[in-house]
Structure 1
Amino acid sequence: MTTAPPTPPDTDAVAFVAALRRLKAWSGRSYRQLERRATEAGHTLPYSTAATMLGRDRLPREELVAAFVAACGVRAEEAEAWLDARVAIACGPPAETAVRPRTVAAAPDPRCREVAREGLQSGRARRVWPRRRTFAAAAVAATVLFGGVTATGAFADDVEAEVEQTGTSLYLPRS
């Protein structure tokens, strides 16, 4: 590792992952060695996750990028550049460049970069839009509410009283 490590691009996810592949080649480490180095640095990076991350063209999660660059031997200030580039790609272009002639692109949330950086600095990366958790919580609440109403008998009429009043049977006649 006598040369400088590759620099992270902030253009798109495909270029970013390609730069991560170059970083792995620069480090000269195997996936198993990267896993051990990440553990020594206080991160979690299974070798299979690292291999999958480099085999795709999607933007990896921020905590994976932090673990990967630490395992490759990148210094702290250079690691920050990788994380900043990842956040820039994930959040999209700044709001002032989002407006194009005759078309308006959806501008990202102006708090996107601050929320993402704050989550990583607190030791756990947070998602900016936790849609799955919200949906799961709503589904659990609806299930509990419906189950409680059903268990109390709110949907059931007093069947025995109705049978006595009308003189009907609970069973269908046999034919």
Structure 2
Amino acid sequence: MTTAPPAPPETDAAAFVAALRRLKAWSGLSYRQLERRATEAGHTLPYSTAATMLGRDRLPREELVAAFVAACGVRAEEAEAWLDARVAIACGPPAETAVPSRTVAADPDPRHREGAEDVLRSGRARRVRPRRRTFAVAAAVAIMLFGGLTATGAFADDVEVERTGTPLYLPRS
């Protein structure tokens, strides 16, 4: 271990796992030795989990990366770089702050409904109307009306009881 360990990439999960494989090769340790060194460092890293982690191209969990990097003998500052790179890949690229994503439209045209907004996407404005909210309010009102009518007995069929002459309550004997 005279050379520096490989640096973590921040491009995608496959490149990150490939860099973890290079880190294992750099350490020169077997999976069983990695398990023992992780335990000595206070982590849990079963050898089968480490082998499975390096055999896939998916982003491993943060605690596995911390245990693996510590077992490979990476110093604390460099280990933080590995964890930061993993978080950067998991969270995706930072959002653009130069262009506002939504602005309220000041449209003089009275045909457009109130509450509509212009959404800027790639320099062009697109009209968005709050349809989901309107549908949700209409559905809630319909449910309340139906529930109220059901509770008052508007849908009850009392005609059958009147025809048979059967009282609603049986007389006590």
TM-score (norm 2): 0.57
Report the equivalent of 1:84. 84
Q: Percent identity?
A: 92
Matched, 1:62 2:68: no
The amino acid of 2:122's aligned partner reads: P
Matched, 1:93 2:114: no
**5+ long unaligned stretches in structure 1:** 104-164, 166-175
Report the equivalent of 1:11. 11
SS of the counterpart of 1:65? helix
Query: As a proportion of its length, which structure holds more strand?
Result: 2
Distance in structure 2 (CA, Å) of the matches to 1:27 and 1:56: 20
The Cα of 1:102 is off from its aligned counterpart by: 6.9
Distance in structure 2 (CA, Å) of the matches to 1:10 and 1:96: 18
Alignment deviations for residues 42-72 of structure 1 (CA, whole Å, 9 cap, x no partner)? 0000000000000000000000000000000
1:1-150 correspondence to structure 2 within 5 Å: 1-96=1-96, 101=122
SS of the counterpart of 1:96? coil
RMSD: 2.0
TM-score (norm 1): 0.56
The Cα of 1:81 is off from its aligned counterpart by: 0.1
**5+ long unaligned stretches in structure 2:** 100-120, 125-169
Q: Which has the larger radius of gyration?
A: 2
